[in-house]
Chain A
Amino acid sequence: MTEFSWKIGGEAGYGIMTSGLIFGKAFVKSGLFAFDTNEYPSLIRGGHNTYTVRVCDEPIFSHSKKIDILVALTKLAVEKHKDEISENGFIIFDQSVFSVSNEEVRDDINLVPIPLTEIATKSGGQAIMRNNVAIGASFALVDYNFEHLVDTINGIFGGKKGEDIAKTNINVAREGYNYVERNFPKFLRSIKISAKKFAKRMYIIGNEAISLGAIRAGCKFYSAYPMTPASSILHFLSSKENDYNIIVKQTEDEIAAIHMAIGASFAGVRSMTGTSGGGFSLMTEALGLAALTETPLVVVLAQRPGPSTGMPTHTEQGDLKFAINASNGEFPRVVVAPGDANECFYETFNAFNIAEKYQIPVIVLTDKFLAESHSTIDPFLSKQLKIDRGMLLTDEKAKQIKDYKRYENTATGVSYRSIPSQIAMFKAATDEHDEYGRLSEEQSDRITQMDKRFRKFKVLESEIDGIKIYGDDDADITIISWGSTKGPILEAMKIFAKKGVKVCFIQVLYLMPFPTTKMKLLIEKRKNKIIIENNKTAQLASLIKEHTGMDIDYKILKYDGRPFTPEDIYEKIDEVLTFAKL
């Protein structure tokens, strides 16, 4: 396995995000695997932004701690990240703006001073294209075909409108490449990497995968209020609204967003809303409205550190119990937490089927790390997916029903759903009601309807397999986790494998209904059960205790707003287990 990591750091407004994307995508286009993650403060200019891309000739699932090439657009980037640089790693920095010496960093580090800004402006670009000079220069350090970069830039800026921009960007990058070739011949192509076997793959972030899943599921209505890290769903779907005939509505607030999604669904259209914790707080009352009226609903909750506004542009898994318990009263819902972009796509697609089949709210729970990180995955197998609209009535079927009861007390708890314009009229009622949907406060109606709604859950529990297992069955260590920690955990398992330690990883994909039976069976006889969560209070561990009565041996938690790296996980596990042996 050959790999290297690259990081670019500078002020917000330097165009770092696009540069990072270009860099990673260029490698994916040639059959390599890339994973990226970005870090940026909640402001538009200034501050410190970074974008890290890890490239490998085998599948990878997260970034890693060490970086081999640091592109520093500011001196601050050097100071902040010099300790992350691997032995004999490189720092490319903007000589037009500042200088760096080996005394300031480490002797083994190879310094590559380049007048980035100057080259950018001299070769016909603007100062902001200094990034592209740096990308060109970075490519010179890697044994890699420059033409892939050209392809990628064309792809990103290309089309008729962007032709000139693409051309300038390519020229500027080529100048960067040439500069290294002329001035640092000994560094040329010092990082060797090449694709083992070419295959066409996608380079995509979680939010885009969710959007594709929704489009494939026939989502026709998306209403949302901007909130990081959910906003890119709004942006992506808006950009496709005319190609796929989707009404994408930016609303006055999240309360309107969720009510609109409910209204659209009531009218018979598949709909979705998306937000982060603060917006979800505003949506909670309506979550119950969807539940009581049994209107199908898909809500994406992309977590960020709270409480309150918290750390708007960072990551955390602090809303698990909130998602499970949000809203007053008791009602069934589904909470699914994809762990990677692939699951974002397929589980979002499934979410629409589940929501309609069971006529309940489904929450797709992600976080900033998953929502905004690119990973390299096989193209989605979208042809095989089947839409299931459950007991939604066709016009024909509606005509045959006599004495229509929208909330009929059926064996599965699910009842026929008609939509306006069909002959089977009903009223969706936010108050408790009888089988027809008429308001009722009778004890018998209350019990019947509560039991009806919860009966669906029993069926659901038997249909959903909420757990995925990776690694060895007879493992020394069992890791249990959920959501975006999956990537770093899978990577940490590679490190353990090298050391000959057997690890098993239990990923809880569906948190509600909780996979109690399977979880019990799985963890009963295991030793060294370790929970890993990107939060302060080990919410999954507490759910496991609640549902199975079992305790977790060790908890590894991180709540600094940053995702785990594989190394973090490896080291922390090593630490607790050594400690345990003492």
Chain B
Amino acid sequence: MPSFEELTTKERPTWCPGCGDWGILTALKKALVEINAEPTKTVVVAGIGCSGHLPQWINTFGFHSLHGRALPVAQAIKLSNHELNVIAVGGDGDGYGIGMGHFIHAMRRNVNVKYIVHDNQIYGLTTGQASPTSEKGFKTKSTPHGLIEEPVNPIALALATDCSFVARGFAGDVPHLVKLIVQAINHKGFALIDVLQPCVTFNYLNTFEYFYRRIYKLEESGHDTSNKEIAFQKAFEWGEKIPIGLFYKKERKTYEDELPQISKEPLIKQKIDNVDISQLIEEFC
């Protein structure tokens, strides 16, 4: 089973020094080591953004898709071979902006893939424009007079969509994030981990300092992860105190569970060399 080193690529990430993305990559690799994931049976799918580069720097299979489109690719990979461990990653712009539609539908569909969002509340790769999670009034290159819109609340949105695993992590607390990722992978169903990820280059507001002062851990506050109502209340807590950890978890049948087509063996293992269609031809005669 893989060691941390085996998962580490020769090439070093090109992220800015100090960027929260480093912590997420480390946590993901540690989590994969912890669950004994076989690298060849693990696929990391990404969208486009600084975050989207992640698959390049982890020794597993990878699919670097288009901006906002990691989830449809990831779900189809899982449906085609449900023996794989499929993890999707992307940015806040990627998942909550251009890919928002896929995000909502992936949650209601409940295909067993894990979704890690590098939520830096900014567009990093395109050099600092407002993102769907940027705070109201935030001044960026594209909002020099302050952002007018209210931010998206991914946690509340996930709860409202009956997402079966809803969590928030912090790139500045790797051990905690490792635990969350392990939990998410062990959970049977779609899992969202929204990760607070300071962008040290473009987000001057939501810095490591900013979060260190505010975050607290849900599991240390006696939070009941099966209570959706309380989870909702926690989801709207953002200001002086910001909760991280598992908000809500629920056992739900996965999409794959409901497919007789793959109840015996994964789609990929089914023979196709000689599909007999004589019955179908007969139907048209």
Query: Which A positions have Cβ atoms within 8 angstroms of B?
Result: 29, 200-204, 208, 212, 215-218, 220-221, 223, 240-247, 249, 251-253, 255-257, 259-264, 266-271, 285-286, 289, 293, 379-380, 382, 387, 419-423, 425-431, 438-439
Contact = CB atoms under 8 A, between A and B. Distances in A.
B76 to A, nearest CB: 3
A290 to B, nearest CB: 10
A247 B64 contact: no
Interface string B69-87: 1001111110111011000
Contacts of A431: 64
B63 A264 contact: no
B221 interface: no
Contact of A259 (B43, B62, B73, B275): B73
Nearest to A220: B267
B32 to A, nearest CB: 14
Nearest to B103: A252
B64 A245 contact: no
A97 to B, nearest CB: 35
A427 B61 contact: yes
A387 B272 contact: yes
Given A269-B268, A430-B64, 15 more contacts: A203-B285, A217-B275, A220-B272, A221-B79, A240-B280, A260-B72, A260-B73, A270-B272, A382-B278, A382-B281, A419-B268, A421-B83, A421-B84, A438-B11, A439-B56
B235 to A, nearest CB: 23
Contacts of B270: 220, 245
Contacts of A216: 275, 277
Interface residues of B, number: 53
Q: List the 10 shortest-distance A-B pairs measured between CB atoms, nearest first.
A: A218-B272, A263-B76, A427-B62, A259-B72, A267-B80, A263-B73, A260-B76, A202-B284, A256-B72, A252-B105
Contacts of B259: 247
Given A247-B267, A262-B73, A427 B56 contact: yes
Interface in B184-226: none
Contacts of A271: 76, 80
Contact of A263 (B55, B56, B74): B74
10 contacts: A220-B80, A223-B76, A244-B275, A247-B259, A247-B262, A259-B73, A289-B65, A419-B268, A420-B43, A425-B59
A259 B41 contact: no
Interface string B42-54: 1101001000010
A243 B284 CA distance: 16
Contacts of A245: 261-262, 267, 270
B155 to A, nearest CB: 21
Nearest to B84: A420
Contacts of B66: 259, 285-286, 289, 430
Contacts of A289: 65-66, 69
Nearest to A421: B41
A379 B285 contact: yes
A285 B270 CA distance: 30
B273 interface: yes
Of residues A208, A244, A245, A251, which shows the largest number of chain B Cβ atoms within 10 Å of its Cβ?
Answer: A245
Contacts of A220: 80, 267, 270, 272
Contacts of B59: 425
Given A218-B272, A241-B261, A429-B64, A263 B40 contact: no
Contact of A430 (B40, B65, B105): B65
Given A430-B66, A439-B53, A256 B281 contact: no
B80 A263 contact: yes
A264 B275 contact: no
